[in-house]
Amino acid sequence: MEFIQQNIYLISIALISGGMLAFMSFRRPAGSNTLTSTQATLLINRENAQVIDLREPDEYISGHLPESRNIPAGRLQERAGELDRFKEGPLLLICQSGSRSSTASKQLANLGFAKVHCLEGGINAWRTAGLPLKKGAKK
């Protein structure tokens, strides 16, 4: 008890910082549908997820996930019909940093897509993780 009284400030700081660390570890910025690069890789490999790259064509050509399909975020609404055959399967949305995919995820959910996921941190996180990218013409 004497130890606690003498070190109340240090104990308070430790509890607050520990609580903040735990909160940040479990919080997902774009909601529960965001995946880390590792989780995204598992989704692609285990559940055959269709990867949709929401970046502009010039961004896509500079480096994209193998087997990904390029549908720019600004044209997603008009081109959503191209994805109808994937309505019940998992979709993985990718953009540069994760912000466009979060918005697109909501659009597709409203159109009836059941399993829409976003890559947390976008293509930047994929690159940082050292995962493979393919360069070249859009698909």
**Domains of the chain, start order:** 30-128 (3.40.250.10)
Q: Which helix (H) or strand (E) holds 93?
A: strand 90-94
95 tagged catalytic: yes
Measure Cα distances from 66 to 9, 26, 113, 114 in Å.
Answer: 52, 30, 22, 23
DSSP 55: S
Q: Which residue(s) pair with 35 in the sheet?
A: 119
- Calpha distance 18→55 (Å, rounded): 37
- pLDDT value at residue 7: 86
pLDDT (tens digit, 0 to 9) for every residue of the chain, 139 residues total?
888 888 888 888 888 988 877 766 555 444 558 999 999 999 999 999 999 999 999 999 999 999 999 999 999 999 999 999 999 999 999 999 988 998 999 999 999 998 999 999 999 999 999 999 998 765 4
What does the pLDDT read at residue 24? 61
Q: Which one of the listed residues 65, 95, 104, 119 is annotated catalytic?
A: 95
